[in-house]
């Protein structure tokens, strides 16, 4: 995926995505693997939310896992934070660690998700965090560690282990 589509391109995509023909939608998604743009990501998130087709969901997840444009990061983060997309949260978080883009500016969001969510979502947030490689300001690291250490007190056994691992990991990426 690269930068931008024209308005006409977006209208064509919307038309293709609204097709009742699953094969047609899948073919359009496959075309986006080569010619897709970052501006397509919101439409893909909405399609992921609206479709009941496992095939279409799988194809969109694959596209997100292979994103390489860092300007897609804020779009993915907005969707993660939008309650409308809560049913897709696991997949949206998974794409963050699968695509290898730099989500380090959003460490506090992933720490919040680790602390506040059920185990499945917490595990995905944990995976995003432990796959971070960029250096992060020590103050942000210390804040995250403090919040996690406090949360460990009331967490379930499964999540306690994840939180402890993140507490041990975070100093390795601090500045």
d(CA 105, CA 124): 17
Give the up-direction half-sphere exposure of residue 3: CA atoms within 13 A in the CB hemisphere.
Answer: 0
Residue 163: the pLDDT is 96
> pTM of the full predicted structure?
0.86
Domain boundary among 101, 130, 158: 101
- Give the domain extent around 164: 104-175
Q: Which two tokens stand for residue 97?
A: 């660690």
110 and 157 share one domain: yes
- Is the per-residue pLDDT at 38 higher than 70? yes
Residue 28: the pLDDT is 82
Q: What is the mean pLDDT of residues 127-152?
A: 94
Residue 2: the pLDDT is 42
In total, how many domains does the chain have? 2
- Is the per-residue pLDDT at 46 higher than 80? yes
**pLDDT tens column, 142-155:** 999 999 999 999 88
User: What is the Cα 61 distance to its own chain's centre?
Assistant: 10
């Amino acid at each position: 995926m690269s930068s931008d589509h024209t308005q006409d391109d977006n209208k064509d995509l919307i038309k293709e995505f609204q097709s009742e023909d699953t094969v047609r939608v899948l073919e359009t998604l496959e075309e986006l693997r080569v010619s897709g743009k970052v501006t397509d990501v919101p439409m893909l998130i909405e399609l992921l939310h609206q479709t009941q087709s496992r095939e279409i969901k799988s194809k969109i997840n694959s596209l997100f896992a292979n994103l390489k444009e860092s300007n897609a990061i804020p779009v993915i983060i907005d969707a993660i934070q939008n309650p409308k997309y809560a049913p897709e949260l696991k997949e949206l978080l998974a794409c963050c660690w699968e695509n290898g883009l730099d989500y380090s500016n959003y460490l506090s969001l992933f720490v919040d998700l680790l602390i506040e969510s059920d185990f499945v979502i917490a595990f995905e947030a944990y995976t995003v965090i432990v796959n971070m490689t960029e250096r992060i300001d020590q103050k942000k690291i210390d804040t995250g560690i403090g919040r996690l250490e406090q949360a460990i007190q009331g967490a379930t056994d499964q999540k306690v282990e994840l939180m402890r691992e993140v507490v041990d990991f975070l100093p390795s990426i601090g500045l």
